[in-house]
Amino acid sequence: MYQVGHFIGGKHVAGTSGQTQPIYNPATGEIQGEVSLASAAELNAAVENAKAAQPKWAATNPQRRARVFIKFVELLNQHMDELAALLSREHGKTIEDAKGDIVRGLEVCEFVIGIPHLSKSEFTEGAGPNIDMYSIRQPVGIGAGITPFNFPGMIPMWMFAPAIACGNAFILKPSERDPSVPIRLAELMIEAGLPAGILNVVNGDKAAVDGLLTHPDIGGISFVGSTPIARYVYGTAAMNGKRAQCFGGAKNHMIIMPDADLDQAANALMGAGYGSAGERCMAISVAVPVGEETANRLIEKLTPMVESLRIGPYTDDKADMGPVITKAARERILGLIDKGVEEGAKLVVDGRGFKLQGYENGYFVGGCLFDNVTPEMDIYKTEIFGPVLSVVRAKNYEEALSLPMKHEYGNGVAIFTRDGDAARDFASRINIGMVGINVPIPVPLAYHSFGGWKASAFGDLNQHGTDAIKFWTRTKTVTSRWPSGIKSGAEFVMPTMK
């Protein structure tokens, strides 16, 4: 059994609080490791290291900061297999899916290599008589990130890469369920040339989260998790004078128009609904076929595909998906499926009884497919975060459009159609943050921003893209005039350019 501590000041630090949490193998249900939960002293040590290192890092020119990320990207590629195996061992997702997790984080690191250009600001010569005006983007100081279990490689990099590139120090509090990859990323950042103390990893529970939210030396907080916790983090951070970007739950719909290529749509739903066992905030969990004929044909195509899903441990390179993260997550998912049946939805494919020989104690859930789901049902309203796809039949386009429009979450949405007018109208009217047109999981690339609307996000600025540069810096505007030509005597009226 292995031990995971913290990474503070450029080195591994064993936990001293005496509090630990087991790390399970989701495929077997066995305890494979143990993670230390930080004490207040350990959290303070991380902040003090960050505070000591940050001024010199902020004074390092952007091109030299970029070179650290050039080397880091090189190291990520070199260690891809190792990182994917570490990630899969603790999360349970397949190796290829784990590599995708790492690569989407790597792409943000590639993006911030452009920080010399991204951090440039504005200058106006002659804004007034002998007056020049310019703005400067300066780092927040110390940032902190609180990341979820489902993307232990990608989301930490989405947070710390832009923050550090902008000249901040950063404290990462990853999920205690799969903590090994974040620690390894910190090691690789040091190997890439990052000064000690700029990236610290502190494992912990709610006490560590509250410590970050209330610490007076932390200037910005980034969070990804459930909506109730996102609300709590955002509100607590704001009350303590911190800027915050907090991303919560989702219930992503995919509209299938009568003219859509149904083979393409069915394949898209399989990957987007069941990939990573549905444990993605951008998973499609609601399919909305328009018209009875479209719905019947879609169910006919999906049923054998869901029934034939290959489910296995991450060591099975032919597996389509692995287990869910914990026993509690499995029980919650099964409970919601039971509730869907009780409420009258038709369970076309029932994966509740799935057992894998040799892995009977693993946290596996077979693929489930519901038909005739209605908006009043819990399985429609709730983010299940498991391999469950609900089909909600719509009579026409307007009814289909109204479903995601009325839902409390607004993270992602997609439409499959050959009609450009319908696609354009959909993209224009929908009140969702990320929209896919014939793209099931519309996660933007690194140079655009990621973020939802409504109860899926709290805060004005999104993750990665130019929004991240704005979030992790503060704007300072300078108005300058030099003595030559200055009129003598005091002026008591409001200065204008008149």
33, 98 contact by CB (below 8 A): no
> Active site includes 281?
yes
- Distance linking the first and last C-alpha atoms of the chain: 74
Is 64:58 a contact under the CB 8 Å cutoff? no
DSSP code per residue over 301-333: HHHHHHHT--B--TT-TT-SB---S-HHHHHHH
Contact 23, 175 (CB under 8 A): no
Let me know: does 195 contact 170? Beta carbons within 8 Å. Answer: no
The one-letter amino acid code at 25 reads N
Closest CA to 125 of 137, 115, 133: 133
3 state DSSP class of 428: helix
3-state secondary structure of 224: strand
Closest CA to 256 of 305, 290, 283: 290
Task: Give Cα separations from 297 to 262, 271, 293, 393, 477 (angstroms).
Answer: 8, 18, 6, 12, 60
Tokens of 452: 């939802």
CA 314 to chain centre: 22
SS3 437: strand
C-alpha distances in angstroms, 254 versus 92, 286, 294, 426?
A: 26, 6, 13, 12
Q: Which two tokens stand for residue 496?
A: 């204008």
Encoding tokens for residue 445?
């690339």
Q: State the catalytic residue, choosing from 109, 166, 281, 368.
A: 281
Q: What is the largest CA-CA distance in the chain?
A: 90
Q: Considering only CA atoms, which of 150, 172, 151 is closest in space to residue 161? A: 172
Q: Is 117 helix (H, G, I), strand (E, B) or coil?
A: helix
Q: How many CB atoms lie within 10 A of CB 124?
A: 12
Residue corresponding to tokens 């441990």: 313
Contact 257, 290 (CB under 8 A): yes
What stretches of 232-387 adopt beta strand conformation (E)? 243-247, 252-256, 284-289, 346-349, 368-371
CB-based contacts of 377, cutoff 8 Å, min separation 6: 339, 340, 343, 344, 345
Name the residues annotated as catalytic: 281
